[in-house]
Amino acid sequence: MPGNTLRMRHCLTFATGLVECLCFAGAVFGWASLVFVLKTEGYFSSLCVNTTGVNTTQVLDCSGQDEQFSLVFTIASFMNNFSSLPNGFLFDRFGTTVARLFGIFLYTMGTLMVAFAVPALSNMLFPALSLLAVGGLLFLITNMQVGNLFGSRRSTIITLYNGAFDSSSALFLVIKLLHEAGVSLRASFLFLSSCAAIHLFRTFFLLPRDSIPYPLPDHYTYGITCGQSNTPSSEQPTANGDAKVTTEETLLKKDVPVTQEKSFRECVLSRFFLWHLLWLSVMQLRHYLFIGTLNPMLQRLTAGEPSLVSQYINAFAITQMCGVLCAPWNGLIMDRHKGKPRAAGESEEESDLRATVLSLFLTALQCVLFSVCASTPFLPLQYLTFILQVINRSFLYGGNAAFISVAFPSCHFGKLYGMIMALSAVFSLLQYPCFALVKALDGDPLYVNVGLTLLSLLAFIHPLAVYLHCRRLASQRNESSR
């Protein structure tokens, strides 16, 4: 395939993947906007009860309805992360086409279930949102490999796709605005269902059947050509069917001795994996609780004024759209050393790892600042909270994927990404007990927010551990060179 045509195909794959992540993949995290519509439609309205308020006035208490909506999001966000483990194995074992077809099926089923749900069948929201979450995540997992096509900008592309995943939460804002303009919820979700045709087109014509290797072989092509290459070894599968490792070994053995890759078990039991799991889990819990309780929090701060709640929900959703603009900065931070001369004896892997320290530290710092603002019961300050939240969330998930791609062998990326997301999902289940605790405290989230802010400080352990590891490696090189 001529060079210009190949570059155009790479760019088209990148652009359409960005649109897919931006418009579909992470829609479930725009839950606050969808809840506003679902309340208007009367979902779970039977849980609202009349209570006696101040001066014996009758007040409608909808805390039970809020709790049920929070449970829907808790389960969907848990499934979004926990399903990463089987999805990662599915992607590594069966390749891109099978993983995407499964994801398209789940996503389309989820949109159809929301389209045909009615208030009398409010419980349909539980499986529907979970299917949307799992299907959307498969879109992200299968698109992140596109970064392998762009060599030195690999981390930037991976973080950009994760930022687009965050920004796609604005999809539910669009549905909310359309609903206010008279477009029914059913019509909106039927349109999303019909978009399965776009996903199928990308699957068969713009992505490989297996996966995109890294480093990229010469003249690599993909799509209906199935990743053919002029590099002979890339066409010869190994005994277990893994052509990727053979290709990488062929490219590396010219100049550098091939080192034994770590096994999947060794990666999972390593200190880096454990500290990275802690780093992701504590910050993710903070974000999930914030998103899941945003609607009742705004109800409390606005004294239940519907127009003001809607205004802040719209502001939150609009800031989510900026995730795609924030995420590449994290990738640029991690790729900033590319093209610069490395220290004597320093490998490319060590240089990449050292570049992650600043990214990991800044992400932890952003989370603490976001948590402090979210804990302050001052309504106008929530605009700043929304900005910090979207910046931190885009750094968090983009940095998570980029760190795994740097710190561990690429042949285990899908499995390790799935494992760490699944384990962090178990930790994120704490959001529901936290919500129940807030309810027990008469709806005042101050003490829970303070506790989560203190918990977020644990995220600083990870960048410190990576920094000390890199410094130890540098010290060993200096001693050996004397």
pLDDT tens profile 429-477: 888 788 888 878 877 788 888 999 999 999 999 999 999 988 888 887 7
Higher pLDDT, 344 or 190: 190
* Cα separation, 101 vs 312, whole angstroms: 37
Most confident of 72-86, 218-232, 374-388, 400-414: 374-388
pLDDT at 474: 80
Distances (CA, A) of 160 to 22, 116, 165, 399: 10, 34, 9, 10
* pLDDT for res 224: 54
Please tell me the predicted confidence (pLDDT) of residue 237.
Answer: 37
Count of Cβ atoms closer than 10 Å to residue 40 Cβ? 15
Identify the residue with better confidence: 100 or 159.
100
- Mapped onto helix, strand or coil, the DSSP state of residue 467 is helix
Report whether pLDDT(341) > 90.
no
185, pLDDT greater than 70: yes
Mean pLDDT over residues 17-31, rounded? 89
CA distances from 265 to 59, 400, 408, 419, 469 (A): 57, 19, 12, 11, 20
For residue 411, is pLDDT > 70?
A: yes
Domains along the chain? Answer: 3-46+59-254+263-339+347-477 (1.20.1250.20)
pLDDT of residue 230: 47
Range with the largest mean pLDDT of 18-32, 307-321, 410-424, 450-464: 450-464
Tell which wins on pLDDT, 179 or 436: 179
Task: Calculate mean pLDDT across residues 271-295.
Answer: 89
Residue range 38-64: mean pLDDT, rounded: 78
Higher pLDDT, 235 or 348: 348
Of 135 and 336, more confident? 135
Pick from 444, 470, 292, 469: nearest CA to 375: 444
Q: Quick one: pLDDT at residue 60?
A: 76
Q: Give me the pLDDT at residue 239, please.
A: 34
**48 DSSP assignment:** -
Contacts of 244-252 with CB under 8 Å at 24 or more apart are: 244/211, 244/213, 244/410, 244/411, 245/411, 247/213, 247/217, 248/213, 248/214, 248/215, 248/410, 251/215, 251/217, 252/215
pLDDT band at 150 (very low <50, low <70, confident <90, very high): confident
Angle between helices 84-94 and 125-144 (to 10 degrees): 40
- Highest mean pLDDT among 6-15, 115-124, 290-299, 467-476 belongs to 115-124
Split at pLDDT 50, 70, 90, the class of 235 is: very low
The pLDDT assigned to 107 comes to 96
Best-predicted range by mean pLDDT (44-48, 81-85, 194-198, 229-233): 194-198
CA–CA gap between residue 388 and residue 267 (Å, rounded): 32
Confidence of residue 54 (pLDDT cuts 50, 70, 90): low
Query: How many C-alpha atoms does 377 have within 13 Å on its Cβ side?
Result: 15
Quote the mean pLDDT of the chain: 81
pLDDT exceeding 70 applies to what percent of the chain?
Answer: 87
Residue 40's pLDDT is what? Answer: 87
Would you place residue 233 in the very low, low, confident or very high pLDDT band (cuts 50, 70, 90)?
very low
Q: Is the pLDDT of residue 252 over 70?
A: no
pLDDT value of residue 346: 66
Mean pLDDT over 87-95 rounds to: 84
Does residue 248 have a pLDDT over 60?
Answer: no
- pLDDT over 50 (residue 276): yes
Average pLDDT over residues 167-190: 91
pLDDT at residue number 135: 93
Q: Which pLDDT belongs to residue 147? A: 83
DSSP, res 229:
-
Rg of the chain (C-alpha set): 23
Contacts of 237 (CB under 8 A, 6+ apart): 243, 246
Cis check for the bond before 215: say yes or no (omega within 30 of 0). yes
* Mean pLDDT along residues 253-266: 59
